[in-house]
Amino acid sequence: MKNSRRVMAAAAVLGAGALALASCGAAPEESGKSGDAAAKDFLGCIVSDSGGFDDQSFNQSSYEGLKKAEHDFGIKVKQAESKANSDFSTNLNGMVSAKCDLTFSVGFLLADATKAAATANPDVNFAIVDDSSITLPNVKSLTYDTSQAAYLAGYVAAAQSKTGTVATFGGMKIPTVTIFMEGFAEGVAKYNTDKGKTVKLLGWDSAKQDGTFTGDFEKQDKGKTVTQNFLDQGADVVMPVAGPVGKGAAAAVKETKAGGKDVALVWVDSDGYESASQYKDLMLTSVVKAMGTSVEDVTKEAKDGKFDGKAYVGTLANGGVSIAPFHDFDSKVSAETKSEVDALKQQIIDGKIKVEAKK
């Protein structure tokens, strides 16, 4: 019996081997074809962090920007998702071997790997989203001063709050998240100073630079619990800064609204009225971080041979960050508030107001 088992095993291994050989034999001419076609044009590439390109956050926005460039300018695109931190350098080197003209790294976690790849390949261009630590002529860093837009959102939220309490929370305590919360807090404080009001902010303490975090960007139920707590404490405008976890917050706000309370949501990263359209009637406004647009712009520059290693910082002035239209809330936001927001925006652009968020 043991022998027959061995024979079977050998047969199976042989079979598997034959199969592997057969697949090897069939393919070379195929791969040759696709290789030629790809080499003709500008090749824009992108490497995600472990969130993947469907993270409803910066990986996705950046990827969509590059896909838009593919559509608009007819460039070729390659993408690689990292499943672990040790994949970063492999993926970046893979992109270099694939002869990418410009490779985007998404997220500060890729900074070391990007720096190493850019140093080793000085004639290949890289761009890194959400990190500004690299200063090399062939690396462009893309960062966003979202605190400027969050400031405006905080002002509007404070103006719209009837209970005198607004709230925010983050996914994780990392700079790209807290910058939203700090800006929001300063916007609320500005409203209080200008109007002599005492609108309270839950979830972020500007003095301590600490606040409420759900711990990750995945567990929506936690976002819901945290938001429910805020709503129970009387908050009527909530800004979740937690990627997909924001959906949990939206669900809590929706339930409370169905219960007859007048509550609203401030979305982040993209215009929630469109990107989270099932909750569009809750969206007071959104703090938009136009990663897709800037990725597309940088791609266009590189394609036209105008790539440079100067850091790009998205601001209200260059449209890299903005606050979304009020959509359904347009009639509920007073003309006075609207004009004040416009004035504040101008003052920030002119540098008269400095939003002092730590980056």
Partner 1 sequence: MSAQDQMIHREKSLLQRIAGGSWLVSVLAILVSLIVGGILIAVTNEDFQEAATYFFARPGTALGAGWTAATEAYLALFQGAIVSPDSGFLPLTETLTNATPLIMAGLGVALAFRAGMFNIGAQGQITVGAIFGAYAGFAWHLPLGLHLLVVILMSVLGGALWGGIVGWLKATTGAHEVILTIMLNYVAIKLLDWILNTPAFLRPGETNPISPIVDKSADYPVIIPGTRLHLGFIVAILLVLLVWWILNRSTLGFTLRAVGENPAAAATAGMSVKRATFLAMAIAGGLGGFAASAQISGTEHVLANGAAGSIGFDAITVALLGRSTPWGTFFAGLLFGAFRAGATNMQISTGTPIDIVLVVQSLIVLFIAAPPLVRTMFGLNRLAKGPKPKAPKPTTHVAEVPAAPATVGAHAAKGAGTVPDAADAPTAVDSPSAVDAGPSTAKHAADPEPPTPPGEAGPTAPETTEGGSK
In the stretch 92-131, what mask flags binding to partner 1 with x, by CB under 8 A? Answer: --xx-xx---------xx-xx------------------x
Using the contact rule CB under 8 A, the part of the chain among 2-10, 162-170, 222-230, 289-297 near partner 1 is 2-10
Using the contact rule CB under 8 A, the part of the chain among 146-154, 170-178, 231-239, 267-275 near partner 1 is 170-178
Using rule CB under 8 A, residue 21 touches partner 1 = no
Closest distance of CB 40 from partner 1, Å:
16
Using rule CB under 8 A, residue 208 touches partner 1 = no
Helix or strand or coil: residue 43? strand
Residue 328's CB is within 10 A of a number of other CB atoms, namely 14
Using rule CB under 8 A, residue 23 touches partner 1 = yes
What span, in angstroms and rounded, lies between the C-alpha atoms of 193 and 190?
Answer: 5
Helix axes 291-303, 58-73, angle to 10 degrees: 40
Closest distance of CB 340 from partner 1, Å:
32
Using the contact rule CB under 8 A, the part of the chain among 20-28, 159-167, 287-295, 304-312 near partner 1 is 20-28
DSSP 98-165: TT-SEEEEESGGGHHHHHHHHHH-TTSEEEEET------TTEEEEEE-HHHHHHHHHHHHHHH-SSSE
Do β-strands 102-106 and 43-47 pair in parallel, antiparallel, or remain unpaired? parallel
Determine what percent of the chain falls in helix, strand and coil, rounding each to the nearest 5: 50, 20, 30
Using rule CB under 8 A, residue 24 touches partner 1 = yes
Q: Which residue number, 170 or 187, has a Cβ lying nearer to partner 1?
A: 170
Using the contact rule CB under 8 A, the part of the chain among 27-35, 148-156, 218-226, 292-300 near partner 1 is 27-35
Distances in whole angstroms, Cα of residue 121 to Cα of each of 79, 118, 131 = 19, 5, 20
Among 71, 72, 122, 174, binds partner 1 (CB under 8 A): 174
Using rule CB under 8 A, residue 27 touches partner 1 = yes
Half-sphere exposure of 203 (CA within 13 A, CB side): 37
Using rule CB under 8 A, residue 300 touches partner 1 = no
Please classify residue 359 by burial: count the beta carbons closer than 10 Å to its beta carbon, then call 0-12 exposed, 13-18 middle and 19+ buried: middle
User: What residues contact 338, with CB distance under 8 A and at least 6 apart?
Assistant: none
Nearest to 134 by CA among 152, 119, 155, 154: 119
Among 83, 162, 195, 354, binds partner 1 (CB under 8 A): 83
Among 84, 207, 258, 335, binds partner 1 (CB under 8 A): 84
Residues forming the site for partner 1 (CB under 8 A):
1-2, 4-5, 8-9, 12-13, 15-16, 19-20, 23-24, 26-28, 30-31, 34, 45, 50, 78-81, 83-87, 89-91, 94-95, 97-98, 108-109, 111-112, 131, 133, 172-175, 215, 358
